[in-house]
A and B are shown apart, each in its own frame.
Chain A
Amino acid sequence: MKGWMGKIRTLLLLSSLSLILSGCGKENLTAFLPKGYGADVSLGIIITSLVVMIFVFVVVMIIYTFVLVRYRQKKGQEDFVPKQTEGNKALEVVWTVIPILLLVIIAVPTIAATYDLADKSGQKDALNISVTGNQYWWHFSYDDQEIQTSQDLYIPTGKKVYLNMISSDVLHSFWVPSISGKMDTNPENENTMYIEAYEEGVYWGKCAELCGPSHSKMDFKVVAVSQEEFDQWVSDMQNVDPEATPEATSAQEGQKLFEQNCLSCHAIGSSPVAVAPNLTNFGDRTKIAGVVDYSKENLVDWILYPEEIKPGNKMVNAPYFGEHKDMKEFEDEAEKIADYLLQLKPSEITPDSAQ
């Protein structure tokens, strides 16, 4: 493992440099700039295979160009009949054996890496998080810590974190390109994968398995912070008082409205409701519902018109509309709820800490 990884790494450094120069993708999203173990290993294989492939392609193209230049029909030679060769045993052996050897070069590290990435030996002692994919949001439950959270996954850097994944409805796939390759969430079984972030940062995650109209909007974030910060986040989250009264009056009214209208699906604190995202630390999100820029205005919009932002999402089943109130009233109420939600900041540790 180590030997070839070392060589690969130098290669990798060189090529990633050139990739940065050519601007290949957004940092913390692209798989070209790995910031975690899985992505690193995968990129190693990608580059090994790419090098072999470029070699093959060059060989093919050299013969191809030569043949076309040399043997193209010349003027006046239309009737020339070339020698009718049947084949050549030696040549045929050559182009059977060499590709086999080239494939072995790819296959061996591939197998090693495949087993490496499926290694579960450290799972018992490591941090285990249950991941649930839902149309169209992600839920995270920290197994022994009694922490429930959605959309933003907080992990400590430099540690293997085991994710036990399942789906509550259709197939989804958990993918954070710059940290690790993807793993599907299936409804009938739990899949396990580990991730390890090398450095602090907010990494973009995407759903990579067609799951309905808002499949392209099922984004989430992995927030990697230092171990100390993570420990603090854990204790902050454990000590949340879900019923804490906010200071501002509008937020207090918002809390009431929220409790009446929204708690049937959503949850605050660690009660494991799985119908809608857990909003305990909603005030610390960087995006609303995974994709919308974080602002009060957008939040109000979301509460009132979720369907327009994420078509087909399940909040549509209970939109915040009564029968006999007028629109203005709704907006007012939604603003109050927004005020309430925006101040849900139970922890000092936020995505901003992940620098």
Chain B
Amino acid sequence: MSSTIAQKRGFASTLWDYLTTVDHKKIGIMYLIAGGFFFLVGGLEAMAIRWQLVRPENDFVSAGFYNELLTMHGTTMIFLAAMPLIFALMNAVVPLQIGARDVAFPFLNSLGFWLFLFGGVLLNCSWFLGGAPDAGWTAYAPLSTTSPGHGVDFYVLGLQISGAGTLIGGINFLVTIVNMRAPGMTYMRMPLFTWTAFVTSALILFAFPALTVGLFLLMFDRMFGSGFFDAGMGGNSVIWEHLFWIFGHPEVYILILPAFGVFSDVFSTFSKKRLFGYTAMVFATVLIGFLGFMVWAHHMFTVGLGPAANSIFAVATMAIAVPTGIKIFNWLFTLWGGNIKINSAMLWALGFIPSFTIGGMTGVMLAAAAADYQFHDTYFVVAHFHYVIVGGVVFGIFSGLHYWWPKMFGKILNEGLGKFTFWTFFIGFHLTFFIQHFLGLMGMPRRYWIYLENQGLDTGNAVSTAGAFLMAIGTIVFLYNVIITSVKGEKVSGDPWDGRTLEWSIPSPPPHYNFRQTPLVRGLDPLWIEKSEGRKGMTPAEPLGDIHMPNSSILPFVMSLGLFIASFGFIYQTSDKSWLSLVFIGMGILLGCMFIRSVKDDHGYHIHKEDLDKEAGL
């Protein structure tokens, strides 16, 4: 097994390398590319939505198509853009931050990625095969069970497959963080980003099974004639709402917590200060995750659960403002007294504070059940969640990308372009969504294909659309920045930001074994400690030795392909049973691969000490 990678490679072998890789850094890059692509797709759908709503009774798209657009926009953005981009950062950074050479389950890590990608591709195949799902990203029954065509079938199977990938990824990160930490890296010395990755993974573990079950039931209702949500058979559509939100609410914290982690690292790095109130920050993160499981019914205030349930869930929801507030103030006091350097990564983080605070505040307003009777399913809710998701999660991803880009690719993104992206996106964002609060209360429900003339909704919507275009410009400039940087950008050192955590103690991009020698961690912000004591890097915790590495494998790709094939069988067997053959083929491939995997021993390989020395000498 050769350990020198600096050989010239053909395209085919690079492709093969990526298809089979189990290296978390490469998987991170693949998550970045795929998630970025889906972000553009979802953004394009958003632009179509906004263009349709630019003036009253517009006919840019048809009613049915509009519903497909909004469903696919929401689904794509949440499951195929935001989550994978967060997984991209987690994959690229978490093992480095805890001083690990690898994740706990490299094979499963790759399987998780391919499942996500094939699930996403499957979902988007619906566009070309008779129409996308059109029942909203929440797919409320019975609209979803009765929706004609195969759109919702693609939703069910696409999310089922990519959801399985996410669950696998979550377990992988949990075990990685528990078992793979370097010596001295106790729990209370872990960087906040790692902590949030940990809590997010735990949320994934407990939240996704509810979605899995919900999707199964939906699938059975649509494809196999069961009656879970069919009132005619004694079924109950409210069950779907509960299952969806038991998953759905934790899901939004799954998205935001890693973004919080990014901001914590960015704030402390660029104000050259230790994170203020580290213990409280950790505690708040855990508390948010914990409370996140008890509030889901705040999405169901108008379902008719009764005043007792509504009040309980209202108060429980409001409680989340407390730990979140602790975080906001701790960030502000991290900046307090610091030496604040404002670059692109920091701009996104600074832009986050007011934006997210507004979003959180409207969240608390929504939590007041009696007020939510007015807000629910209006543009006020749309405004709320874009403030927290775009102003929190998307800003966090942008911040993280600017911050860790040099670590991932060895080059710093262009600062001028970065600032331009930020300002256009930031202004566009507020322009788009602030006014939607008012639109909602002025009587504009969400998921409206058109709004009528003379209802006082024209100006607000036009402004909103204008803002969306600014965001698009910002995004396009960012893409340009990425291209320019990879073509022309200059190589940087391993530690361009005067970093504090372990990932900055190794070269950029890191070698595939990450750490030549596992570092010895002596406190929070371990690299900072060493630097402040005058040392250049980390003290190793072990002598230089052979490094054990996992073997790459094509099986994850093939397994996901199997499920992809089987899905078409499931979807089309409703009209013609011969499609069932695809189910057998696909599941056969999957089971076959699992069989091979369990029968074939995989001990990995070793990079020898001498080779390491040779590489260092180069």
Touch A–B, Cβ below 8 Å: yes
- The residues of B that contact A192 with a CB separation of less than 8 Å are 304
Q: Mark B211-223, 1 if CB is under 8 A from A, else 0.
A: 0000000000000
CB distance B445 to A175 under 8 Å? yes
Q: Is B14 an interface residue, CB under 8 A from the partner?
A: no
- How far, in Å, is A320 (CB) from chain B's closest CB? 21
CB distance A181 to B373 under 8 Å? yes
Partner of B364 from A29, A49, A87, A111 at Cβ < 8 Å: A49
CB distance B142 to A208 under 8 Å? no
Q: Mark B396-414, 1 if CB is under 8 A from A, else 0.
A: 0000000000000000000
Q: Is B303 an interface residue, CB under 8 A from the partner?
A: yes
CB distance B370 to A113 under 8 Å? yes
Q: Is A45 an interface residue, CB under 8 A from the partner?
A: yes
CB distance A49 to B368 under 8 Å? yes
Compute how far the CA of A260 lies from the CA of B452 in the bound complex, rounded to whole angstroms.
34
CB distance A186 to B371 under 8 Å? no
Q: Mark A185-201, 1 if CB is under 8 A from B, else 0.
A: 01111011000000000
Q: Is A11 an interface residue, CB under 8 A from the partner?
A: no
Q: Is A318 an interface residue, CB under 8 A from the partner?
A: no
Compute how far the CA of A107 lies from the CA of B367 in the bound complex, rounded to whole angstroms.
9
- The residues of B that contact A39 with a CB separation of less than 8 Å are 374
Compute how far the CA of A210 lies from the CA of B152 in the bound complex, rounded to whole angstroms.
15
Partner of B377 from A72, A85, A115, A209 at Cβ < 8 Å: A209
CB distance B450 to A217 under 8 Å? yes
Q: Is A211 an interface residue, CB under 8 A from the partner?
A: yes
Q: Is B7 an interface residue, CB under 8 A from the partner?
A: no
Q: Is B511 an interface residue, CB under 8 A from the partner?
A: no
Partner of B456 from A29, A56, A73 at Cβ < 8 Å: A29
- How far, in Å, is A132 (CB) from chain B's closest CB? 13
Q: Is B454 an interface residue, CB under 8 A from the partner?
A: yes
CB distance B136 to A210 under 8 Å? yes
CB distance A173 to B326 under 8 Å? no
- The residues of B that contact A87 with a CB separation of less than 8 Å are 276-280, 330
Q: Is B307 an interface residue, CB under 8 A from the partner?
A: yes
- The residues of B that contact A184 with a CB separation of less than 8 Å are 302-304
Within 8 A of A (CB), among B448-471: 448-452, 454-457
- The residues of A that contact B427 with a CB separation of less than 8 Å are none
Closest residue of A by beta carbon distance from B329: A95
Closest residue of B by beta carbon distance from A175: B445
Compute how far the CA of A50 lies from the CA of B278 in the bound complex, rounded to whole angstroms.
31
Within 8 A of A (CB), among B321-372: 321-322, 325-326, 328-330, 332-333, 335-342, 350, 353-354, 357-358, 361-362, 364-365, 368-372
Q: Mark B283-324, 1 if CB is under 8 A from A, else 0.
A: 000000000000000000011101100110011001101100
Known: A117-B373, A181-B302, A186-B238. A57 touches B447 (CB 8 A): no
Q: Is B274 an interface residue, CB under 8 A from the partner?
A: yes
- How far, in Å, is B266 (CB) from chain A's closest CB? 15
CB distance B277 to A92 under 8 Å? yes
CB distance A41 to B358 under 8 Å? no
- The residues of A that contact B375 with a CB separation of less than 8 Å are 46
Compute how far the CA of A73 lies from the CA of B378 in the bound complex, rounded to whole angstroms.
43
Q: Say which one of A75-83, A149-157, A230-238, A337-345 lies at the interface with B.
A: A75-83
- How far, in Å, is A92 (CB) from chain B's closest CB? 5
Within 8 A of B (CB), among A42-68: 42-43, 45-46, 49-50, 53, 56-57, 60-61, 63-64, 67-68
CB distance A99 to B321 under 8 Å? yes
Compute how far the CA of A86 lies from the CA of B134 in the bound complex, rounded to whole angstroms.
51
Q: Is B143 an interface residue, CB under 8 A from the partner?
A: yes
Within 8 A of B (CB), among A94-120: 95-96, 99-100, 103, 106-107, 110-111, 113-118
Partner of A42 from B272, B370, B454 at Cβ < 8 Å: B370
Q: Is A88 an interface residue, CB under 8 A from the partner?
A: yes
Q: Is A207 an interface residue, CB under 8 A from the partner?
A: yes
Closest residue of A by beta carbon distance from B279: A87
Partner of A73 from B310, B339, B362 at Cβ < 8 Å: B339
CB distance A208 to B376 under 8 Å? yes
Known: A68-B335, A82-B337, A206-B445. A107 touches B342 (CB 8 A): no
Question: What band does the interface of chain A fall in when counting residues whose beta carbon is under 8 Å from B?
Answer: 35 or more
Closest residue of A by beta carbon distance from B280: A92
CB distance A91 to B333 under 8 Å? yes
Q: Is B3 an interface residue, CB under 8 A from the partner?
A: no
- How far, in Å, is B467 (CB) from chain A's closest CB? 19
CB distance B374 to A46 under 8 Å? yes
Compute how far the CA of A115 lies from the CA of B325 in the bound complex, rounded to whole angstroms.
28
Known: A103-B318, A216-B448. A29 touches B442 (CB 8 A): yes
CB distance B373 to A110 under 8 Å? no
Compute how far the CA of A311 lies from the CA of B66 in the bound complex, rounded to whole angstroms.
12
Compute how far the CA of A30 lies from the CA of B318 in the bound complex, rounded to whole angstroms.
26
Partner of A60 from B277, B353, B448 at Cβ < 8 Å: B353
CB distance B365 to A50 under 8 Å? yes
Known: A67-B336, A71-B335. A206 touches B364 (CB 8 A): no
CB distance B276 to A170 under 8 Å? no
Q: Is B209 an interface residue, CB under 8 A from the partner?
A: no
Partner of A85 from B143, B274, B354 at Cβ < 8 Å: B274
Compute how far the CA of A99 lies from the CA of B272 in the bound complex, rounded to whole angstroms.
29
Closest residue of B by beta carbon distance from A212: B143
Q: Mark B144-164, 1 if CB is under 8 A from A, else 0.
A: 001000000000000000000
CB distance B357 to A103 under 8 Å? no
- The residues of B that contact A71 with a CB separation of less than 8 Å are 271, 335-340
- The residues of B that contact A111 with a CB separation of less than 8 Å are 311, 314-315
Compute how far the CA of A99 lies from the CA of B284 in the bound complex, rounded to whole angstroms.
14
CB-defined A-B contacts under 8 Å, sample of 23? A25-B438, A30-B443, A46-B371, A49-B371, A53-B362, A57-B357, A64-B332, A82-B339, A86-B276, A86-B278, A88-B333, A92-B330, A96-B325, A99-B321, A99-B322, A114-B307, A181-B372, A184-B304, A188-B235, A209-B377, A215-B67, A215-B447, A216-B63
B contacts, CB < 8 Å to A: 62-64, 66-67, 134-136, 140, 142-143, 146, 231, 235-238, 271-274, 276-280, 302-304, 306-307, 310-311, 314-315, 318-319, 321-322, 325-326, 328-330, 332-333, 335-342, 350, 353-354, 357-358, 361-362, 364-365, 368-378, 438, 441-443, 445, 447-452, 454-457, 532
A103-B364, A110-B371, A204-B443 given; name 19 further pairs at CB < 8 Å. A26-B443, A26-B454, A30-B443, A32-B442, A46-B368, A71-B335, A84-B274, A92-B277, A95-B329, A96-B326, A114-B314, A171-B140, A177-B443, A182-B377, A184-B302, A188-B237, A210-B67, A213-B62, A216-B445
7 A-B pairs with least C-beta separation:
A181-B373, A25-B442, A113-B370, A213-B63, A191-B304, A87-B277, A216-B448
